[in-house]
Structure 1
Amino acid sequence: MERVELLTGVLAKTGDLIEGVEAGQLGLPTPCEEYDVETLVNHLVGWLLLFEARCNGRPYDADPASHRSGPDPAAEFRAAAAGLVAGWAKYGFEREVAVTGGSKLPGEMVFNMTVMEFLTHGWDLAKATGQPIPFTEEEAAETLARAEVTLPPQYRGEGMSFGHIVPVDENAPAVDRLVAFLGRHPAR
C-alpha cells in the first residue's frame, strides 16, 4: 500500500470516529487506561497538530498532551490531517523530521509512528464508544508491519509507552494483531 494512501485512509477513518463521539460518551473509559474518551480525543488532535507542524518543517511549541479541543474536534483533526498528508506528499520521506525536542528522526520512522498512533488510538476510540472498527485489513496489516520494524522492546512494560505484546492467534484479523502487538487486548 502506498504511504500517502495509507495515511489518508487511517486519518480519514480516525476523523470519522472522532465525529461519531456523542457528548454523553466523553467520560467513558478507553482501552488506553490513562485516557477517558474526551482525553483521548484531545490527545489525538494535539498529537496530530504536532506531527503536522513538524512534517512541514514548522516549530510546534505547545505540549500536545495539554491540548484541549474546541467545539468541533473532528474539524480540527481533519484540518491538521490534510496538512500532514500534504506535507508528506510535498517533502517526501527521505529526510529527517523533528518530533519532540530538538532531535530528528528518519522520516520513515516518523511516518511509521504516525500511522501506528492514529490507527491504534482510533481503535481505542471505536471500542470505547461502540463504533465499528473502520480500518481495512490492508491498512492494519501495513501498519503492523511498520510497527514491527519501528517499536523496540525497551519501550514496552510498566511505566513505558507500550505494554507487553498480548498473545493472539496468528490468523486473527490484522487490526487485532496490531493492537495486541502494541499491548492491548483485542477482545476487551
Structure 2
Amino acid sequence: MTTDTADDPRPTFARALDQAGRQVAAVGPDELGNRTPCADYDVRALLGHVVAVLHKLARVGVGEDARGIPDVIGGIADDGWASAFTRARSEVDRVWADDERLDRMVQLPWATLPGRTALDVYTHEFTVHSWDLAHATRRLAGLDPDLAEQALDAFSKLAPPEDRSERGPFSAVVTASDDADVYTRLAAYLGRRP
C-alpha cells in the first residue's frame, strides 16, 4: 500500500525532528542546567523528555505499550545527548517507514489515535520543544517558521484556551505583541513567557 503524499505526515514530522536534532546537537554541557520556558524542565530534563518521546513513538508504532517509558529519560552522559537523540530518531524512522502504521490505531499515554494523527501531533510537540531549547540556549536563529505556523494552527484546535486547566500541559495564553514572530506567538499561545 502506498500512502498519498498529501496525507502523509512523515515529511513534516521529519522536518520537525531535523530541527529538534540540530537544537539537541548544539547544546553544550555547560548549558544543561539552563532553565527552559517549559515548566519544570531545565535543558537536561527537556533533552531527556524529547528522547523519551522518541522511544514512546517507536514503541507505540509497533503496537506496544509506552506507559512504562518515563516522561524524562536520565542517565545520559553530558556529551551524549546528540547520539541518544540520533539513535532514538533512527528507531522511530525505521518503525514509521511502514505505510500501514499510519492507519493503525496507536495507544498513547493520553489518547488512542490513528498513527498519522499521532505523528502530526508530535510534529507540533517537537516544534515547540525546539523553540524551548533554542530559547534556553539563545539559539533562536534558523528555526523553521512554517513548522511554527502549522503548530500554532493545530494547537488552536487541540488546546483551546477554554479547555485548559492548571494541571494540564499548557498554561493560560500569554499576550504577545502584534509584531511578534510566529515562534513567540506560538510560545505565548501555549502559556510560555517568551
**TM-score in same-fold range (> 0.5):** yes
- 2:13 and 2:120 in contact (8 A); partners too: no
Q: Which runs of 5+ in 2 are unaligned?
A: 1-5
CA distance in 2, matches of 1:69, 1:9: 27
CA distance in 2, matches of 1:133, 1:92: 35
Distance 1:160 1:60, change over 3 A: closer
TM-score calculated relative to the size of structure 1: 0.83
2:138 match: 130
1:36 match: 42
Alpha-carbon offset, residue 65 of structure 1? 2.0
Distance 1:82 1:134, change over 3 A: farther
1:161 match: 169
* CA displacement, residues 1-28 of structure 1 (integer Å, 9 cap, x when unaligned): 8622211111111111111111111111
CA distance in 2, matches of 1:85, 1:133: 26
- Which secondary structure does the structure 2 equivalent of 1:65 belong to? coil
2:3 match: none
Q: Which runs of 5+ in 1 are unaligned?
A: none
2:88 match: 80
Query: How many residues are treated as equivalent by the alignment?
Result: 185
2:105 match: 96
Distance 1:60 1:127, change over 3 A: same
- 2:61 and 2:101 in contact (8 A); partners too: no
CA distance in 1, matches of 2:55, 2:142: 22
- 2:171 and 2:190 in contact (8 A); partners too: yes
CA distance in 2, matches of 1:134, 1:64: 31
Alpha-carbon offset, residue 153 of structure 1? 4.3
1:121 match: 129
1:20 match: 26
One-letter amino acid of the counterpart of residue 177, structure 1: R
